[in-house]
Chain A
Amino acid sequence: MLNFSKEQIKIKIGDMSMGGQPGESPTVLFGTVFYGKKYIDHSPEAMEEIDGFIATQEELSQMTGNPGICDIFIGSEEQIETRLSFVLDRVPENRPICVDVPESELRAKVLDHAGEIGVSKRLIYNSLNLGLEEMEKEALAANPPGCAIVLGYNPKNMSTDGRMEILENGAGLLDQGLLDIAKEANIPNMIIDTGATPFDHNTAETIRSIPVMKNKWGLPAGCAIHNTVESWLWMKDYRKTHREAYLTCDVGANALPVMMGADYCVYGPMRNAGQIFPFIAMVDKFIAEGGEDYFGIEIPENHPKRRLK
């Protein structure tokens, strides 16, 4: 539906393409694995479950054309090797993998390990953010990942302008903007995460930021809007007796950023792949038709618009 005056950068990592004008590429869908207590000790049952999730996501990805990326949650050093090798053994060999690591020191260790096993170029780094520390900077310089998700979370100012500031100049919290830090580390590809916030914390700015940032920098952008739904206080109670209503909101929320031009969604637990892939494929069909009919966008053959008649 939208078309940006700023030229839109399209990135390609392995067999995954992302970005461009709305409709040019199917929305990339990141499903998270290994997040949760039951996966901590890597029990055979838990691993079997994840094996099934990855297979289902891949099958849906092939069917719809929406690239499915494994977002691997890593919460401790001991988990790095097991989790990376488990996923790498199960996804196509030219498919990027995403590492979702909340702690700076641990992110540095993940980068080192990825360098050692030779998968840095396949790595989507989630995320380069305000929590960055010196050790992480050094690790980034030594083993730059193929792509960094750059997080526009600014606790001082959650408006769109505030989110842009942290990316552009560090908002007084960092010496330089996160985009420059990524460039200096020679990270070849960057994608923006506008940083989902809970309701009553400038939530809508998460969505507003997407077209504004895309029109400013031309970089692929998206967010993990399921986090807003997950933190919705009223829903926390309601979902106890109305699980289907929660799932509807959880999945449906992803239409908001995509309609505003988002190139990817981090959709939460990969167990929801069965709901999210057909849903986003449908949204992509709307967007692609709008782009093709009005702006003359060329829709690729692998797009849900072409695959799912």
Chain B
Amino acid sequence: MYPWRGEYTIGNPNSSVSIVTLASIIDFPEEKVAIWGHMKTENLGIEKVVANVISNPNIRILILCGEEVRGHRSGHSLLSLHSKGIDDNGRISGAKGAVPFIENIDEEAIERFRQQIEIVNMIDITDKVEIMKVVEEQLAIDHEPFGEPYIVELVDNKNGDRPSVKRLTGKIGFHKDLILDPFLELEQMPVEES
């Protein structure tokens, strides 16, 4: 049911709780949690979480737990996205991660995420008992579904449509700036100096 592939486990689609375990790998009871999985990167990883979570309007809570991802600061970046959004360049405002840029989901989807989801910050907590206590607390609350599913289509090839096949007579195409000529005599090879 979730539109973007990733390393996650699907549980009960009617549950209001989702869990991101950052660098840790923790399993949860399928009947209690809608979707859970780890999240390594502060850009593509966050995009996957956002796209998948907003595709299920029953999810209203995201428990952010597990060990923070060293260097990437993915957990911190997700918190920043949720509280501050992105700037005009797609940079997550206030994020301290390495390259905290959102490119594959638009501002409307991010806004939807910010409105639909409440984040429970348990970064660096890896104790499953402690995390499950919060899951139970949240399940005891009557969270209303958030309207209709919001689907962000994943565009695998960021360059847009598949380009038409180009064939170069007598040459080997590698890139527009780098065409290989198998018939060129070595003496004819141009040499450019820096």
Q: Given A102-B97, A201-B158, A233-B7, do A215 and B177 touch, yes or no (CB 8 Å)?
A: yes
**Cβ–Cβ contact B194 & A7, under 8 A:** yes
**A29 vs chain B, min Cβ distance (A):** 21
**Cβ–Cβ contact A131 & B98, under 8 A:** yes
Binds B, one of A150-158, A185-193, A247-255: A150-158
Q: Given A102-B97, A130-B99, A208-B174, do A6 and B158 touch, yes or no (CB 8 Å)?
A: no
Q: What's the Cα separation between A105 and B96 when bound, in Å?
A: 8
- Where chain B touches its partner, the secondary structure class is loop
**B155 vs chain A, min Cβ distance (A):** 10
**Cβ–Cβ contact A129 & B99, under 8 A:** yes
Q: What's the Cα separation between A77 and B44 when bound, in Å?
A: 26
Q: What's the Cα separation between A255 and B67 when bound, in Å?
A: 33
* 0/1 interface trace, chain B 80-93, chain A, CB 8 Å (1 if under): 00000000011100
**B45 vs chain A, min Cβ distance (A):** 10
Q: Is A239 located at the chain interface by the 8 A CB criterion? A: no
Chain B, Cβ-Cβ closest to A198: B44
Q: Is A211 located at the chain interface by the 8 A CB criterion? A: yes
Within B88-137, the residues touching A (CB, 8 Å) are: 89-91, 96-103
Chain A, Cβ-Cβ closest to B24: A37
Among A7, A73, A156, A215, point to the contact of B90 (Cβ < 8 A).
Answer: A156
Chain A, Cβ-Cβ closest to B180: A2
The contact size tier of chain B is 35 or more
**Cβ–Cβ contact A103 & B71, under 8 A:** yes
Contacts of A198 in B (CB 8 A): 44
Chain B, Cβ-Cβ closest to A37: B67
Chain B, Cβ-Cβ closest to A160: B175
**A37 vs chain B, min Cβ distance (A):** 7
Q: Is A304 located at the chain interface by the 8 A CB criterion? A: no
Q: What's the Cα separation between A60 and B63 when bound, in Å?
A: 46
Q: Is B32 located at the chain interface by the 8 A CB criterion? A: no
Contacts of A103 in B (CB 8 A): 71, 73, 96-98
**Cβ–Cβ contact A155 & B67, under 8 A:** no
Binds A, one of B12-20, B51-59, B144-152, B185-193: B185-193
**Cβ–Cβ contact B99 & A153, under 8 A:** yes
Q: Given A103-B71, A105-B96, do A7 and B192 touch, yes or no (CB 8 Å)?
A: yes
**A22 vs chain B, min Cβ distance (A):** 14
**Cβ–Cβ contact A156 & B103, under 8 A:** yes
Q: Given A7-B193, A131-B98, A155-B103, do A201 and B175 touch, yes or no (CB 8 Å)?
A: no
Among A37, A156, A200, A216, point to the contact of B177 (Cβ < 8 A).
Answer: A216
Contacts of B178 in A (CB 8 A): 211-212, 215
Among A73, A218, A236, point to the contact of B71 (Cβ < 8 A).
Answer: A73
**A16 vs chain B, min Cβ distance (A):** 21
Within A36-77, the residues touching B (CB, 8 Å) are: 37, 73, 75
Among B23, B157, B189, point to the contact of A5 (Cβ < 8 A).
Answer: B189
Q: Is A118 located at the chain interface by the 8 A CB criterion? A: no
**Cβ–Cβ contact B97 & A208, under 8 A:** no
Q: Is B156 located at the chain interface by the 8 A CB criterion? A: yes
**Cβ–Cβ contact B70 & A35, under 8 A:** yes
Contacts of A216 in B (CB 8 A): 177
B residues neighboring A (CB under 8 Å): 5-7, 23, 40, 43-44, 67, 70-73, 89-91, 96-103, 156-159, 174-175, 177-178, 186, 189-194
Query: Known contacts A131-B100, A158-B158; can you find 20 more A-B pairs with CB under 8 A?
Result: A5-B190, A5-B192, A7-B193, A7-B194, A35-B70, A102-B70, A103-B71, A103-B98, A105-B96, A129-B98, A155-B43, A155-B99, A156-B90, A200-B156, A208-B174, A208-B175, A211-B178, A212-B174, A233-B6, A294-B186
A residues neighboring B (CB under 8 Å): 3, 5-7, 9, 35, 37, 73, 75, 101-103, 105, 129-131, 153, 155-160, 172-173, 198, 200-202, 208, 211-212, 215-216, 218, 231, 233, 236, 294-295
